[in-house]
Structure 1
Amino acid sequence: MGELFDNYETLDPKDWQKSKALMHKMVDDAFDYTQNVRDRKIWQEMPENVLNSFKTGLPTQPSDAEDVYKELQINVLPYPMGNLHPRFWAWYMGSGTISGVMGDFWASILNPNLGGGNHAAHKVEEQVVDWIKEIVEFPKSASGLLVSGGSMANYAAMAVARNVKAGYDIRTEGLKENNLVFYGSTEIHSCNTKAVELLGLGTKGLKKIKVNDDFTINIDALKKQIQLDKEAGLRPICIIGTSGTVNTGAIDDLDAIANICKQENLWFHVDGAIGAIAMLSDIIKPQLKGIERADSVALDLHKWLHMPFEVGCVVVKDSEGHKDTFSLIPEYLEKNTRGLASGENWFSEYGLQLSRRFRALKVWMSLKEHGSERFGRMISRNVDQAYYLGALVNQHQDLELIAPIGMDIVCFRYNPGSLSLDELNALNKEIKLQIEERAIALPGYTTINGMYCIRCAISSHRVTNEDFDELVKSVFIIGKELLP
């Protein structure tokens, strides 16, 4: 019997002690990797031999786990995206927390499905969602769901808005007439356009309203467009306010949008993927006035809350409308009054996914370890650092801000004068690329009013003012090198 068991094939380690030793080494290496992030290149191009290593065929036979780890160390770890580094200011991403890593580790060990069921992981997610509702000042009666990120959070909220405001049972009957209209500014994130398209309304179902000089939605233009659409026989159903646009960090006048939605009986959704969590910041919270009046809010917790990818959240005041939009209970998901399959509100009834990772644990552990006030201070410090960078730009006649500083986003360019727009755009693009290729920093970029600019989204809890001194110094050095 013992011999039979010894030959029984499984995916567990053959030598548990050896596997444990390797895991201990990985943990030690991971702590060193994070602690010493400044000692490594923020980014570097992968050489040909490394690129070729990812073109090999399917491994059909086992390899020693130590050899697999060595390959990871050689071909993966030296070539990161760079967002752990304090000088990562490109796409809007958080820089992670060790407690978040621990949460993800235990989430993988426990490996539950958060579709539903009576177990502790479900309760942890319920509590985390309640905390998010508390942050954005939603009532406890609101519903919520952890999702992959802001894109899915916005989609889920907009699906609820469509179904609640359509005026008929859209799940049963489908779209009768394609006359439903969403509204948002021209600065709205592209995921909202995708959501409207996927909801069957087409690109024309999202009316993009012009913005003011500070890149916030123009309220008068919004009101006018709604009236024109009503006169044309369309059915306005939802306005999307943005709390932190991706280009400049602009925050729409959420109170004014809430007033319009109340007057016109429209759904008020806030795309807060970037800025909603800044309700934790004493500096930003006053600018978010009106978010508590929204019908739904989308948040990205792997941005300014620094969670390891991936975790977003959607909260919806109309919990019944939320559930009615997604709930479908086949016989194999019927709930019991006792046992594992008991419980009233399964998360599978509030979104598209049945199979759901235990995303909540890293958020739960991080908030318990650090407390919301510390996260708020980190957010406020990033805002202060954005204005520090803005002041550096304003001190030099060859640098110029291209947009007002929004929260923690700074858009600027090098402009030594006497160059055409095309020449300036090409020059700044090359400066940005060389800063990246020389592993000095990873700034982002965008084009505003035809002007290519260096865009810094400052969302790291590791960054210092000295990092911005180095950035500005490098912009000057490389800019002068590139001038004819």
Structure 2
Amino acid sequence: MQGFPTELPVDGIGDAAAFALFSRAIQSRSAKLGDLHALAHMDPPPLDIAARLVGLNAEFNQNMLHREVSPFATEVEVRVIDWLAPLFGMRCGHFCSGSTLANLTALWRAREAGAQCVVASADAHISIAKAAHILGMPFRAVAVDAHGRLDRADLGDVKEAAVVLTAGTTGRGVIDSLEPVACRWIHVDAAWAGPLRLTQFSGRLDGIEHADSVAVSAHKWLYQPKESAIILFKSQDAQDAISFGGAYLAAPNVGVQGSRGAAAIPLMATFVALGRKGLAALIERNMAHAEALAALIAEDARFELKQPPETAVLNWRLVNGSAESMLAKLSGTSSRTQIDGALWACQVAANPNADIARIWAQIVAAI
């Protein structure tokens, strides 16, 4: 924080100087998610049109809580939901600031539908256990199989439960079986892999249409800036049941979040600019990146590949040598995860600009 005041300033330096100060800091001290070597996290570089429209939205201070101050944004959100919901067998939904909130919203609705507890795999996102805790619902983690999927043989009696299935786990990127479960409510956390529904890999999410609710993070594999996610419901009644009115509201407030920005505008603009085919091509390029890197790792006897990547997430480690030391040299190129108590490198093909040859050279040089 060199060059920044340590105490609340009495006098300011002016807009231009402050903007320059903060711009330099952001550019020099932030991860370059679009760089050729970046392939580490579920944080894609946002597309230019989306990033630019976030700034314009901020200028007009769009607030989706009040339709009278955001008439265009309200219409856009309805249209984007109408475009996306049918891909998942859903009917309605709304935007929220992230899939943590989307999952909380879904499980709140599940509790209203009579679910008495929450059941998910041991590899489900931490937001599932967190949501259960907030809602006062018992949470049970089910063991995963050798591939990291929820082991249905270990599911037990879930007739009164909300069962959460994951489409793209954070550590391994695997998709739980999405076949129906005899339970009170089925929620699919598709924060990561949901956008595959737009691509040639859509079939990997077959069965998602049996869910009662689905969460998707647009700020992951739809290349949107942060705080853009969607919760979808199979029935309009499901969403209406978690909508609340007030004397100061022209329309009921749906879901958990109150004031929120117009995240649907950058996403709709992305679809208008690229089309479904163009956006699918970016995701499919990431899938090809993961396959190419996995092939290089699998063919090199110095490395062990955990399993083929299912949703552009791959895990590998050195056969001999210090994984910790190697990963320290690969900051920005590789992240890390624990699988069965052991440290593995984790790479997420979320950057369409990635150069796999360059990344592979960095991995080899770090041995």
- Measured against aligned partners, the alpha-carbon deviations of 1:175-212 in whole angstroms (never above 9, x if no partner) come to xxxxx2211111100011100000012xxx12111112
> Contact conserved, 2:333 with 2:359, CA < 8 A, in 1?
no
Aligned to 2:55: 105
Query: Separation in 2 of the partners of 1:458 and 1:386?
Result: 6
> Contact conserved, 2:97 with 2:260, CA < 8 A, in 1?
no
Query: Separation in 2 of the partners of 1:435 and 1:183?
Result: 36
Secondary structure of 1:371's partner? helix
Q: Which amino acid aligns with 1:311?
A: S
> Contact conserved, 2:37 with 2:358, CA < 8 A, in 1?
no
> Contact conserved, 1:185 with 1:208, CA < 8 A, in 2?
yes
Q: Which runs of 5+ in 2 are unaligned?
A: none
Q: Confirm or deny that 1:449 pairs with 2:337.
A: no
> Contact conserved, 1:248 with 1:404, CA < 8 A, in 2?
no
Query: Separation in 2 of the partners of 1:370 and 1:430?
Result: 41
Secondary structure of 2:261's partner? coil
Q: Which amino acid aligns with 1:415?
A: V
- Among residues 365, 383, 387, which one is paired with 2:287 in the alignment? 383
> Contact conserved, 1:240 with 1:271, CA < 8 A, in 2?
yes
- Among residues 11, 15, 26, which one is paired with 1:65 in the alignment? 15
Aligned to 1:328: 244
Query: Separation in 2 of the partners of 1:163 and 1:73?
Result: 46
**Runs of at least 4 residues off by over 6 Å:** none
Aligned to 1:319: 236
Q: Confirm or deny that 1:237 pairs with 2:161.
A: yes
Query: Separation in 2 of the partners of 1:253 and 1:96?
Result: 30
Taking the TM superposition and a 5 Å limit, the aligned residue runs for 1:153-168 are 153-166=102-115
Q: Confirm or deny that 1:199 pairs with 2:135.
A: yes
Aligned to 2:204: 287
Aligned to 2:266: 362
Aligned to 2:324: 429
Taking the TM superposition and a 5 Å limit, the aligned residue runs for 1:93-242 are 93-118=43-68, 119-138=71-90, 142-166=91-115, 180-201=116-137, 205-222=138-155, 225-226=156-157, 236-242=160-166
> Contact conserved, 2:199 with 2:283, CA < 8 A, in 1?
yes
Query: Separation in 1 of the partners of 2:35 and 2:362?
Result: 17
Q: Confirm or deny that 1:296 pairs with 2:213.
A: yes
- Please provide the CA RMSD for this pair: 1.8
Q: Which amino acid aligns with 1:472?
A: W
Q: Which amino acid aligns with 2:125?
A: H
Name the TM-score, length of structure 2 as normaliser: 0.94
Secondary structure of 2:231's partner? strand
Query: Separation in 1 of the partners of 2:154 and 2:133?
Result: 23
Give 1 or 2: higher helix fraction. Answer: 1
Query: Separation in 2 of the partners of 1:60 and 1:360?
Result: 39
Summarize the Cα distance change of 1:471–1:112 in structure 2 as closer, same or farther, 3 Å threshold. closer
1:72 Cα deviation from its structure 2 partner: 2.2
Query: Separation in 2 of the partners of 1:182 and 1:370?
Result: 39
- Among residues 293, 296, 300, which one is paired with 1:396 in the alignment? 300
> Contact conserved, 2:34 with 2:45, CA < 8 A, in 1?
yes
Q: Which amino acid aligns with 2:222?
A: L
Taking the TM superposition and a 5 Å limit, the aligned residue runs for 1:37-52 are 51-52=1-2
Aligned to 1:44: none
Query: Separation in 2 of the partners of 1:267 and 1:102?
Result: 39
